[in-house]
Amino acid sequence: MLGVIAIHAARYDVAVDLIGKAIAINAKVAPYHSNLGHALRDQGRLEDAAASFRRARDLKPDDPEGHCALGFVLQELGRLDEAALSYLRALDLKPDHAEAYNNLGNTLRRQGRLDQAITCFRRALDLKPGYAQTHSNLGNALTSRGEIDEALACYRKAVELKPDLLEAHSNLLMTLYSSARHSEAEILEQARAFARQVERPAPAPAFRNAADPGRRLRVGYVSADFRTHPVGFFLERVLAAHDRTQVEAVCYSNATFADSLTERLRASADQWRLIAGMSDAEAGALIRRDEVDILVDLSGHTEANRLSLFATRPAPVQVTWLGYFGTTGLSTIDYILADRWVAPPGEEARFTEAVWRLPECYLCYSPPALDVETGPFPGLANGFVTFGCFNNRAKISPEAVATWAAVLRGVAGSRLFLKTVSLADEGCRASLRAQFEGHGVDGDRLILEGHSPLAEAMAAYNRVDIALDPFPFGGCTTTAQTLWMGVPLVTRRGDRWAGRMSQSILAALGLEEWVAEDPDHYVEIACRLAASLPELAALRFDLRRRLEDSTFCDGPRFTRFLEEAYRGMWAAKHP
């Protein structure tokens, strides 16, 4: 019981020690192993946690909670088929187990089985109507299916039921960017509502950091995405290029697992700290002990963010950059790093942070370490043009569908190849075909595919002649991958940061002629490119070199600009 109390107090090391002593006395008590599993999971030791939950299950196989707990950690480990089996066993034992339905729904959603996931979430809500987490999870599944208005209603219900469910607030904010009907003013107000949940009045903190404006700065990066993820792709060359005479880089990882990119990032960092499982107070105390000068949020409102940690102001200067595309809403974050394309002068009122613009693109891309060659235009062999988009389904708005349908109508015999995890679901595919048919485009002209491993997904670009960027929420990592594979991309200049990322990338390559001002201009550019495939052939094989030689991939150049920004922020703090 002392161990359980330690878990509730977020003293996981103490909990593991105490519960381990209980098990040493009597190893045949299932709850001891289950409690140890919870402590280990909260520490981020997922494999060890799974082993403890299995031992508890073996000792008490008729306990639905044990199967549910094992399923949860297997889900976190990405072993989705095994997780689903554990949840189904829990439901066999307890058919009215709302939590098991909720967790099974999450697993099915990650597998792209959206209709089944939605059925599970609705069943959980039938059993437990006030289950705020399930309302938020149902919103995630509806977002994955492109049903944005319905998803927003779910997130709002979750926030109404549980105002301190920060995950639901963040999901609401993320999804608002996918709808053209919601203004930046509304998004800003929702961000401020999030901040009101995490920011508490407190005296200004005192820091031991030396005020010398010219000394070496200690910069801390906070993320759950130091891995094969957009954040990893855009951070790798920056970490490696930091001038160690000017900057000491400390990474604070909120992740419970790692991969090969994690290891490369770890090798480039001066210090690596694991904060997964730490409370905000514990993580903040660690950052203060490290005497971090500038703490950089790399998540914004994306999954597993630690904005509540930034709300406690553990560092003198706090910045948000890279992982998000708008304001966090927090008054405790001093700056947001941008560029003149994504946040043009005059839009400062959209942010609670001060906008600090880098002189070039605000991103620095590290192309994938894959042996995937660029192929010739498939249209030259096929006899028809294939347009493509590999962005997630939530970004394919009704406005984008209408514009893409106009492109298809304007290019006789053309096809549209869409590839994303949600399209593994037949209901999602049928809905999308129906939308295009409503604009006079036969559903047979759509090629719809689900998720593939990265190398296969990249190779699939060799089946695309011209890429179409969605709106109002455009691509970013997908844009970089598209261009790296030699595929020209048409985008629309958006009314918000989330719709301008492709423009910023194309500007770095000197290709702003592919940026449209409105839907009619978008259709015109796409049709013009489709009519000139032979002329584009040489560019297709040169586009990868052009991207890799551009400032967009120049780690040392970008990092000098970034370090100058950090130096300027520190000097402003200590004039």
Is 209 within a domain? Answer: no
Place of tokens 């094992």: 70
Q: What is the pLDDT of residue 124?
A: 98
Could you give the CA distance from residue 344 to residue 366 in angstroms, rounded to a whole number? 25
Is 372 within a domain? Answer: no
Alpha helices, H only, 242-279: 260-268
pLDDT tier at 202, thresholds 50, 70, 90? confident
Q: What is the CATH number of the domain that holds 41?
A: 1.25.40.10
Largest CA distance in the chain: 77
Do both 241 and 166 map to the same domain?
no
Q: What is the pLDDT of residue 258?
A: 87
Among candidates 419, 392, 363, which has minimal Cα distance to 474?
392
- Omega before 316 within 30 of 0, i.e. cis: no
pLDDT tier at 87, thresholds 50, 70, 90? very high
Do both 224 and 358 map to the same domain?
yes
Torsion 491-493-494-499 (CA) sign: positive
Do 446 and 415 form a contact (C-beta atoms < 8 A)? Answer: yes
Q: What is the mean pLDDT of residues 467-495?
A: 98
Do 382 and 375 form a contact (C-beta atoms < 8 A)? Answer: no
Among candidates 376, 428, 362, which has minimal Cα distance to 534?
376
Q: Give 193-212 as a 3 state SS string.
A: HHHHHHCCCCCCCCCCCCCC
Q: What is the CATH number of the domain that holds 414?
A: 3.40.50.2000
Q: Give the tens place of pLDDT for each residue, 159-200.
A: 999 999 999 999 999 999 999 999 999 999 999 999 999 998
Do both 407 and 444 map to the same domain?
yes
Between CA 70 and CA 74, with CA 71 as vertex, the angle to 5 degrees is 85
Q: What is the pLDDT of residue 239?
A: 98
- Omega before 64 within 30 of 0, i.e. cis: no
Q: What is the mean pLDDT of residues 117-128?
A: 98
Do both 135 and 83 map to the same domain?
yes
Q: What is the mean pLDDT of residues 214-219?
A: 96
Q: Give the tens place of pLDDT for each residue, 434-448.
A: 999 999 999 999 999
Among 149, 166, 198, which residue terminates a domain? 198
Query: Hey, which bits of 377-451 come out as E strands?
Result: 386-389, 415-419, 446-449
Do both 159 and 132 map to the same domain?
yes
Is 206 within a domain? Answer: no
Number of domains in the chain: 3
Question: 210 pLDDT exceeds 90?
Answer: yes
Q: What is the mean pLDDT of residues 506-522?
A: 98
Q: Give the tens place of pLDDT for each residue, 526-566.
A: 999 999 988 888 889 899 999 999 999 999 999 999 999 99
pLDDT tier at 256, thresholds 50, 70, 90? confident
Do 308 and 180 form a contact (C-beta atoms < 8 A)? Answer: no
Question: 312 pLDDT exceeds 80?
Answer: yes
Is 207 within a domain? Answer: no
Do both 461 and 428 map to the same domain?
yes
Q: For the sheet containing 335-338, what is the strand order?
A: 271-274, 247-253, 217-223, 294-297, 317-320, 335-338, 354-357
Do both 482 and 350 map to the same domain?
no
Q: What is the mean pLDDT of residues 513-537?
A: 95
Q: What is the mean pLDDT of residues 91-111?
A: 97
Q: What is the mean pLDDT of residues 58-74?
A: 97
Give φ, ψ of 508 to 5 degrees: -65, -25
Q: What is the mean pLDDT of residues 347-365?
A: 98
Do both 137 and 193 map to the same domain?
yes
Do both 392 and 511 map to the same domain?
yes
Question: 575 pLDDT exceeds 80?
Answer: no
Question: 274 pLDDT exceeds 80?
Answer: yes
pLDDT tier at 48, thresholds 50, 70, 90? very high
Q: What is the mean pLDDT of residues 301-319?
A: 97
Is 210 within a domain? Answer: no
Supply the pTM of this predicted model: 0.95
Do both 176 and 91 map to the same domain?
yes
Question: 42 pLDDT exceeds 90?
Answer: no
Q: What is the pLDDT of residue 429?
A: 96
- 410 burial (CB, 10 Å; 0-12 / 13-18 / 19+) is middle
Residue 414, helix vs strand vs coil: coil
Q: What is the mean pLDDT of residues 20-46?
A: 94
Q: What is the pLDDT of residue 574?
A: 84
Q: What is the mean pLDDT of residues 103-115?
A: 96
Do both 329 and 388 map to the same domain?
no
Is 51 within a domain? Answer: yes
Domain interval for residue 469: 378-552
Question: 309 pLDDT exceeds 80?
Answer: yes
Is 165 within a domain? Answer: yes
Is 459 within a domain? Answer: yes
Do both 314 and 328 map to the same domain?
yes
